[in-house]
Structure formats: structure tokens, C-alpha cells
Structure 1
Amino acid sequence: MTFQDTVLGEVLQIFKREGIEANSEKELVRKLQISPSTYREMFSDKTDLVKKVLLYDLEEQKREHAELLATAQNPVEEIMLLLKDGLETLKNINPLFYVDMQRHYPEVWQIASEHFSTYSYHELSNVINRGIIQNFFRKDVNLQLVTKIILEQLFILLNPKVFSPERYNIGEVFRSMFLYYLRGICTERGGKLAEDFFSKHNL
């Protein structure tokens, strides 16, 4: 891990804990305990910082998902682990992280959106397809449509105009959207595995 990766990891934790706009660049430099010149060597401005932090976060998510999926026994467990990981992640992130990114850094939010539409789409589509082939998910599932619906639900979840973080518990919204929907696309065999997973993990 490079020094810049270490800095990006620390900033990511600050952003997820306090929101992006809670600290100025000067305050971030102080919290990171680095010199202003070192900061400027790595980041041209705050937008550049937010962009690099997001890219770092997306790569970490890819690595974590690969490790997570390697532990699954079947496609139902794969998708459940992904959803559970997403739920736990949202519970531990200040909603201002996403709100600030959308409001103040639209070009960075566009990168996040494209990630969901490409990498996340293919990852999710592959899991569902394997589940259909192995009779865990219903044969009449429209793969492209179901994948699209799940991703669009994610965008709705992250839209503060739809689910204001001041009014709604984002973790509960996530659960209501995704976990119940998943049961609807499962076969009887897959549904039993999903129910067992719900019970085991208290979802």
C-alpha cells in the first residue's frame, strides 16, 4: 500500500463518518497530520480529492466482494451476502456522504453512477444468471430487467429527495427494497435457502 493509499483510506473513513463537506481542506490536512505541501502534491483541489477517494473506495469494494463471493455456497447465498454487505455498509455510513457527493460533486457522483451501471450490473447479472441455471431463481425471470430494477432501486435509495436521511432509516429502506424483492424471484428451493439465511443473520 502506498502512502497516498493510506491517506485516501483515512479520508474515506472521515467522509463516511462525517460527510464530505463537514471538513475543509485545511481541516482535513490537520486531521491527516500531513503538511499542506504534501497534500497539494497529491490533490489539486477538493474535487480531485473526492474523486480519488471514490475511486479508491470502488476498488476496495471490488476486492471485498471477490473475497465475500468466494465464501458462498450457491447463488442465493452470493446475492444475499452482497445485499447484507450493502445493508451493513449503509448502516455505518453517514447519509451526508452520498448527499454531499450528489449536491457538491456531480462529476464524481457520475463516476459512481457509471460504476453501478457497469461493474455492479455485470456482477449482479452473473449471480442471478447462475441462480436461474441452477434452479435457485425462477426460470421466467427476465435477467436484464430484474438486474436493472435492483440497480434502479439502489439509485432511488440513495436519492435524498425520495428517502430523506432525516426522515428515513436508510438501512431499513434497503432491507424493505431488496430482501423482500429477492424472495419474489426465488424458486421454492431458493426461497428456502433465502429464509434460512434471513433467520441465521437476523435480517
Structure 2
Amino acid sequence: MPNATPLTVSLESAMPVFYLHGLLSAPENLLAKALSISVDDLKATYPDRATLVHSTLLADIERQKREHAALYAQYPSAVERLYGLLQLGLRDLHTIPSTFYGDLQAAFPQAWEAVLEHLNTYSAPQLQQLLNDGIRNKLFRSDININLVTKILMEQLNMLLNPSVFPPERYNMAEVFRSIFLYYIRGICTDAGARIAAEHFARI
């Protein structure tokens, strides 16, 4: 089998095709076009759909990590970083069709396991570390339950994107975001953290 390394960097370009056409039904010619390769090269490197989906998902996870590194370089405080991570997560989740993760779980178990591993070994620890950093720097209250707050933040993000809770035709999602996260995170902030939170929201 040809070496897959040359395609790895650009594999994330296939993700919008999967979002638009579905994991199972996305045409090979459109996937190849998105990756700027021939259909024959696509088939040679990824002979089955499961391998392509899994590899594309891993490439997209790496894209997220690069964005997080850029975010951390831009914002020094745990409060701003936390808001920024939530905004990036919201932006990504807005692009994902409601059926995507169900199809992933049902038809591509290896890729689904990669999602769960990413959440358990990267996303949750990342939030927990931010909360720890914020407590250490006296930006978050020292009496918060870090594991519980992490779970609440993840569930709030899911609630925000549930159209039965906040129909997008009735609600401005940017305002919903502000109303959910500005007040909740400000509630776990110290006075110093709350000032940073207010300054951050004034800029977005």
C-alpha cells in the first residue's frame, strides 16, 4: 500500500464533504477533489471507507489541537482560554449535521472510539487543567468541584446546540452563548476573574 503520509496533512479537507453528503454516501470523486488527488490515489491509499473516515477524523482532531495552541498563544489567562475553547467548540459543532455522530457510532466503531478517547483523554483533562490553573492564579473560586464543573460545561454546550431547546429561528445563538456561559463562568470566578471575563466579552 502506498504511504499515506503525504495525504495526512490535508485529510481534514474531506470532513466538509462528509458533513454535506454523509459518512456512508459521500462520493469518492468529491472526496478526492477536496483532497486534491485522483480517485485512484484515494482508493489506493484508503481502500475502504472505514479507514478513510477514521484517518480523516484523526486529522480533524489534530486541526482542533493546532487551533487550541494558537488560542493559548493569544490569550494568557485561564478565563479567556476557557471562553475561547467553548467558542471554538461551538463553531465546530454548528457545522456538524445532527445525524453525524449517530452514523459514526453505528457504522464506524473504530472512529467512534477515537472520538470517545479524544473527549476522555484530551477535552475533559484540558478543561480540568484550565480550571486548576484559574484556581491557582486566583481567577476561579477555590471551592468549585472541578470534575462537576467540567461536566456542566460540556452539557451546556450540548444544550446550546439542541434545536428543541433553542430553535435557531427564534434565538440569536451568539446571545444564547453569552447568556449561558458569561453568567455561569462569571459565577465560578473570583472578582479578578470576573473582570477578565467582562473585558473578554466586551471584545467579542
How many aligned residue pairs are there? Answer: 196
Q: Give, in angstroms, the shift of residue 199 of structure 1.
A: 0.8
**2:105 matched to 1:102?**
no
**2:32 matched to 1:29?**
yes
Deviates more, 1:114-123 or 1:6-15: 6-15
Structure 1 residues 102 and 4: alpha-carbon distance in aligned structure 2, compared to 1, 3 A threshold? same
Q: Give, in angstroms, the shift of residue 171 of structure 1.
A: 5.8
Deviates more, 1:27-36 or 1:5-14: 27-36
Contact 2:141 2:188 in 1 (8 A): yes
Structure 1 CA distance, aligned partners of 2:141 and 2:34?
51
TM-score by length of 2: 0.78
Contact 1:19 1:100 in 2 (8 A): no
User: Equivalences for 1:53-202 in 2 at 5 Å?
Assistant: 53-91=56-94, 93=95, 95-96=96-97, 99-106=98-105, 107=109, 108-156=111-159, 174-201=177-204
Identity fraction in percent: 41
1:21-68, Cα deviation, whole Å (9 max, x unpaired): 563234433554533331122213223222111110111211221221
Q: Give, in angstroms, the shift of residue 140 of structure 1.
A: 1.4
Contact 1:88 1:171 in 2 (8 A): no
Query: Relative contact order: is structure 1 or structure 2 higher (C-alpha 8 Å, sep ≥ 6)?
Result: 1
**Counterpart AA for 1:194:** A
User: Which of residues 37, 45, 50 is equivalent to 1:47?
Assistant: 50
Unaligned runs of 5+ in 2: none
TM-score by length of 1: 0.78
Report the aligned-residue RMSD: 3.1
Structure 1 residues 199 and 158: alpha-carbon distance in aligned structure 2, compared to 1, 3 A threshold? closer
Structure 2 CA distance, aligned partners of 1:113 and 1:174?
25
Show the counterpart of 2:6: 3
Structure 2 CA distance, aligned partners of 1:134 and 1:199?
22
Structure 2 CA distance, aligned partners of 1:43 and 1:82?
32
Contact 1:29 1:39 in 2 (8 A): yes
Q: Give, in angstroms, the shift of residue 148 of structure 1.
A: 2.1
**Counterpart AA for 1:40:** K
Structure 1 residues 188 and 70: alpha-carbon distance in aligned structure 2, compared to 1, 3 A threshold? same
Structure 1 residues 200 and 174: alpha-carbon distance in aligned structure 2, compared to 1, 3 A threshold? closer
Unaligned runs of 5+ in 1: none
1:121-150, Cα deviation, whole Å (9 max, x unpaired): 111111111111211111211111111222
Contact 2:14 2:34 in 1 (8 A): no
Deviates more, 1:168-177 or 1:145-154: 168-177
